[in-house]
Amino acid sequence: MLQAIDYLGFRNIVHRDIKPSNILYMSLDNGGYRFQLANFGLCNSMAYAETYVGRPAFMAPEVLENRGTPETSKVDVWSLFVTLAYAVDIGGYRGKELCTTEQMINAVLEAADHPAFEKIEEMAIKDPVRRASAAQMLDKLFNGEERTSPPPRS
């Protein structure tokens, strides 16, 4: 999924609707799984992605708080983190009451503090400037071998 977000982000596209129902998977012969991102109906160029779309529980803070700034692929990174927290029900995530923007954001920040998410907690940093990009997470988790965007120049 990080590869898909990296691929889109490098092309200045934001998916804007990453959630469990938009992730397809299939079993592989080796016992692993292949995941694919689906439903590109809300995709937009980063330059024009400023509207409130998608399912609120999976939206990044900058979208929920309607800051009116163009979205980057880091909104998709946040949404992927939320999807993971939801899928594994980390800390009882699915059972939490998520009615307000504050409750939604705080539930994600609490999940990021869970020891099981130690390696990916940078995906759930509230400030999008400090939040990890998909490429940064691919570098961290896979030594950059899974990147679809070019590595940074040294």
Longest CA–CA separation in the chain, Å = 46
Distances, alpha carbon 1 to alpha carbons 52, 88, 92, 96, 134, in Å: 22, 16, 23, 25, 9
Partnered with residue 19 across adjacent β-strands are: none
* Active-site hit among 6, 17, 76, 139: 17
**C-alpha dihedral sign at 134, 46, 14, 55:** positive
Residue 113 annotated in active site: no
Kindly give, in sequence order, each residue whose CB lies less than 8 Å from that of residue 118, ignoring residues fewer than 6 positions away: none
Active site residues: 17
